């Protein structure tokens, strides 16, 4: 299956917090930009908060980034929103038959390869920061008239 869109929404939220930092970013406002329900935003915001990427307080409207723009990578967001369960991008069938040569060795054969593929993917995400996204968005927006 695809990786949850929570990841893309998380990036959207953090980017918005920067671009719109002079206004009050309530969950309702953010939800209007993402085009979803405010509760969805609050849930994702809770995950971002737990990962110490944003600063939010119960009762008080608006959220802010908890780190500098270039200190939040997409990998941070990816992990924060649990885009993938338990660090397992690939799932492996459990309990193959230990009486079969292939069955008793397939997991050990396949796991390091999956780990490697996952690692290069995550590294690609780690090279991009929210600052890059903000820049990209502002540049693109200039070209729209």
Partner DNA sequence: TAAGTTGTAATAAAATTGGTTACATGTAGT
Partner DNA sequence: ACTACATGTAACCAATTTTATTACAACTTA
The site string for its own copies over 37-66 (x = CB under 8 A, - otherwise) reads: ------------------------------
Q: Pick one of DNA, its own copies, none as the site partner of residue 142 (Cβ within 5 to 8 A by kind).
A: none
Which of 27, 1, 21 has its CA nearest to residue 9? 27
- Burial label for 99, CB within 10 Å (0-12, 13-18, 19+), is exposed
Q: Can you read off the two tokens belonging to residue 91?
A: 């799932």
Under the binding rule (CB under 7 A), the answer on residue 123 touching DNA is: no
Rg (CA), the chain: 19
**What residues from 67 to 126 belong to the interface with its own copies (CB under 8 A)?**
74, 84-85, 88-97, 100-106, 108-110, 113-114, 116-118, 120-121, 123-125
């Amino acid at each position: 299956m695809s990786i949850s869109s929570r990841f893309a929404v998380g990036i959207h939220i953090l980017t918005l917090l920067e671009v719109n930092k002079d206004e009050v970013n309530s969950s309702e406002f953010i939800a209007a930009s993402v085009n979803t329900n405010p509760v969805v935003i609050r849930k994702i915001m809770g995950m971002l908060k737990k990962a110490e990427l944003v600063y939010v307080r119960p009762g008080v409207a608006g959220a802010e980034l908890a780190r500098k723009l270039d200190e939040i990578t997409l990998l941070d967001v990816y992990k924060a929103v649990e885009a993938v369960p338990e660090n397992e991008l690939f799932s492996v069938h459990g309990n193959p038959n230990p009486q079969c040569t292939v069955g008793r060795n397939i997991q050990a054969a396949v796991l390091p390869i999956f780990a490697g593929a996952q690692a290069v993917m995550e590294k690609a995400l780690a090279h991009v920061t929210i600052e890059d996204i903000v820049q990209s968005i502002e540049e693109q927006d200039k070209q729209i008239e």
